[in-house]
Structure 1
Amino acid sequence: MCVCVCVSQEDHVDTPYGKVYCTFAGFSKPNRPIILTYHDIGLNHKMCFESFFNHEDMQEIARHFAVLHINAPGQHEGAVTLASEYTYPSLDQLSETLPLVLKHFGFTSVIGLGVGAGANILTRFALNYPDLVEGLVLININANAEGIVDSVTSKITGWTQTVTETVIAHLFGKKEIENNHDLIATFRHDIMTYMNESNVAQFLRSYNGRQALDLKRPVPGGNLSGKTLKCSSLLIAGDDSPSLEVVVDCNYKLDPTRTTLLKVTH
């Protein structure tokens, strides 16, 4: 691992699935993992994580861990519209870009922090490359494939709603949308201002077309036909989150000796 890297570094990393825009901050240290983040649909690393890492409670952690933010292809601020011949990667393919990004920067160990689609991608990465992942913090993870009802609903919603409104419904629960108008207005403005709507729509379609994660809770003395996470994992969902039920379901599929579920009360 690199002994140190410049305090702030931005780079586009070429992968077989397109360019991945990355932002690195801090100094890496030998034998210490970096924090690797991956954002949700309709967001980029700034919108998803900047306030979190700038919070005073995070300053002590920031002094000890470097952070590498990943932006899915075409999702970073100011991104141009992806070429018409470009096929947007599946979530599995997006997870396969991460070892290439780590190799590019010279990192060999991470603690993953992902939200929504980003949490799903990091889980796929950890399942396939367990030696690279020391821990995961997964917010609003949905380990299931999109169901038939959800698929029909998504198509109808796509006909009747803008991409921005579809993203808002994905990010927030009905109660928060109805009661927290200022927050929703801020997110709506930021998505429309900083995100490329065409690119967001492609990432959204990729997420909606995801395959279920092959997760199966280990049974002592039994055979394990599916996979499970080998690292310590913290699953987080708000009590008003539209993802609460699927996060709880994901928790049931993981090794209880390595997994913690945290429900956040507003």
Structure 2
Amino acid sequence: MDWAAQKLTSVTSSLSEQILTHLFSQEELSANTELVQAHRDRISKASNLINVELLWKTYNSRRDLNIDRSSCTFKCPVMLVVGDQAPYEDAAVECNSKMDPTTTSFLKMADAGGLPQLTQLFIRRY
């Protein structure tokens, strides 16, 4: 179902809107905050928009990581950070469930969307 929705969105939406939908929650997009508008302007005015589009297509065609909790997939500590309104919150929770809990930390930030680190930093500055 998600695959079909993503394919339909890629046909009907502009590149910048596709990226913004991935980065921000619907609530953030409808509020049209300064942070969202800054990203929209940055994407739409990029001098290398063809490269941005190629990167976006590559990102969307990536395969699932073969992570297994029973094997030592990662040798270093891992911290997963997600906003409580992020469009990819379920994917981050699923990834966390596959990781070794002794070397993995999971942080869910309140009042944050798809870019919790930037959103929280931006809110605190203003």
TM-score by length of 1: 0.40
* Secondary structure of 1:242's aligned partner: coil
State the AA in 2 paired with 1:259: T
State the AA in 1 paired with 2:91: V
Say if 2:58 is the partner of 1:201.
no
Give distance in 1, aligned partners of 2:47 and 2:90: 29
More strand by share: 1
Which of 73, 91, 95 lines up with 1:228 in the alignment? 73
- Structure 2: 5+ residue stretches without partners: 112-126
More helix by share: 2
Higher relative contact order (CA 8 A, sep 6+): 2
TM-superposed CA distance for 1:195, in Å, is: 5.0
- Structure 1: 5+ residue stretches without partners: 1-148, 219-223
Give distance in 2, aligned partners of 1:195 and 1:204: 15
Which of 177, 181, 188 lines up with 2:40 in the alignment? 188
Highest CA radius of gyration, 1 or 2? Answer: 1
Give distance in 2, aligned partners of 1:180 and 1:262: 25
| Moved >6 Å (runs of 4+) | none
Instruction: Say what the alpha-carbon RMSD is for the aligned residues.
Output: 1.5
- Match in the other structure for 2:26: 174
State the AA in 1 paired with 2:22: H
Q: How much identity, in percent, do the aligned residues show? A: 34
Q: Residue deviations 1:203-239, cap 9 Å, x none?
A: 1111111111000112xxxxx4xx6211111110011
Give distance in 2, aligned partners of 1:162 and 1:180: 17
TM-score by length of 2: 0.80
